[in-house]
Amino acid sequence: MLQGNCSAQNPIAADYATNSTYLSGWSAGQNGGYGFGAWSMNGTEATSPIEAAMDRTSPLNPFGVAWALYNPEGTTPGSGCVNPPTGTDISRAGRALPNGGLRPGDTFSTVISNPTDRTFYRGYTLVLSTGSDNIAYGGTGQQVAVGTFEYFTYGKWYTSQGNTTLFDTDTSTNGVRIDITLTSTNTFHALMTPVGSPGLAYSTDGTLENKNLPEQGAVNWVTYQLYNTDSSFYPTLAPCGPERTDFYIKSMSVSGLTLNIQKVGSNAILTWPAFLSNFTLESTGVLGPSANWQPVSPPPTVVGDQNVVTNALTGARQFYRLKL
């Protein structure tokens, strides 16, 4: 322990729009960071040659540098202007998640923009799914979707499973951080936090959809989807623009379950997220074939958003783990 404190955690994958891989532009097949598969643009309906790009110049980008997903053939909100040709209005970008998919306790995290210029039938979602490429919203393999869509949300966010309450992110913020944690093989915990207003954070729990699959599939792909917009930074391809409707994606990561431990006197105080109620804290005095893992007593107490256990240290050393 460092000064009596330590944290057992497992960073699994991470990529950021600032990665040097994307300096000359963002396109299918590129792969920055580590752990994720290469980007795919399959399923994008635009027929123009440029479907998505790294945007370092748009004054409408709230992050300064971000992956920008756009469709140059959508419409400008409220203007009646339509960029030809019409009818091709959905852009998609996605990639494979590490290790064949999320495992119980793993968290997928991403920071994305929140549209401030909205009108009917516009919006965007991210979809965690089972499969090998991008899927349509509601398509076979969808496990959970999080998004905002003007057809029924009016600028608020929602999850496709769990509590149906719409979540107001406060459109004046610079974006929304979305964390989706698998709490078991078929359940999840979703947390949506406005970057500029963390006090408005909203969480919900639900069961994975496993849509049209015969058995529970691995959550192994993420798809970002943008509906019905023009481009904010390609005026020659989208003369109706610019508008703050492009989908800006700042970062994405996957992390494993975190167990925090603090030594206070002769006790170890251990904490982990309260929503991971399917996990049991166990301990042993030795590792290896002779390890005898036993549940720690007393059981955890929920304090705020954490499970808390105070365990007396009775030997020269003690090892702890969380087991599903």
* Residues 317 and 242 occupy one common structural domain: no
For residue 151, being part of any structural domain is answered with yes
* Residues 195 and 114 occupy one common structural domain: yes
Other Cβ atoms less than 10 A from the Cβ of 52: the count is 28
Of 11, 10, 8, which Cα lies nearest the Cα of 271? 8
For residue 2, being part of any structural domain is answered with no
pTM score:
0.87
Residues 6+ apart with CB under 8 A from 120: 150, 151
Can you tell me which residue has the tokens 């992390």?
255
Overall number of domains in the chain = 2
pLDDT band of residue 3 (cuts 50, 70, 90) is very low
Q: How far apart are CA 72 and CA 92, in angstroms?
A: 13
Of 64, 52, 26, which Cα lies nearest the Cα of 234? 52
* The length of the chain, given as a count of residues: 324
pLDDT band of residue 57 (cuts 50, 70, 90) is low
The last residue of a domain, from among 227, 255, 283? 255
- Residue pLDDT, tens place only, 274-300: 988 889 999 888 898 888 999 988 888
Greater confidence (116 vs 102) lies with 102
| Lowest-pLDDT choice from 96-105, 174-183, 195-204 | 195-204
Phi then psi dihedrals of residue 264, to 5 deg: -125, 105
Task: Spell out where 89-173 has E strands.
Answer: 90-96, 107-112, 123-129, 142-149, 158-159
The stretch 167-174 carries a mean pLDDT of 72
Q: Which domain holds residue 89?
A: 10-255
Question: What's the pLDDT at 189?
Answer: 94
Alpha carbon distances (Å) from 207 to 120, 183, 193, 292, 316: 29, 10, 21, 33, 42
* Residues 167 and 22 occupy one common structural domain: yes
- Residue pLDDT, tens place only, 250-268: 999 999 988 899 988 888 8
* Residues 116 and 58 occupy one common structural domain: yes
Contact between 124 and 153 under an 8 Å Cβ cutoff? The reply is no
Question: What's the pLDDT at 247?
Answer: 85
Question: What's the pLDDT at 2?
Answer: 41
Question: What's the pLDDT at 234?
Answer: 54
* Residues 217 and 108 occupy one common structural domain: yes
CA atoms within 13 A on the CB side of 127: 26
* Residues 135 and 267 occupy one common structural domain: no
* Residues 187 and 203 occupy one common structural domain: yes
* Residues 246 and 267 occupy one common structural domain: no
* Residues 79 and 170 occupy one common structural domain: yes
* Residues 58 and 185 occupy one common structural domain: yes
Other Cβ atoms less than 10 A from the Cβ of 47: the count is 11
Q: What is the mean pLDDT of the chain?
A: 83
User: Percent of the chain scored above 70 by pLDDT?
Assistant: 79
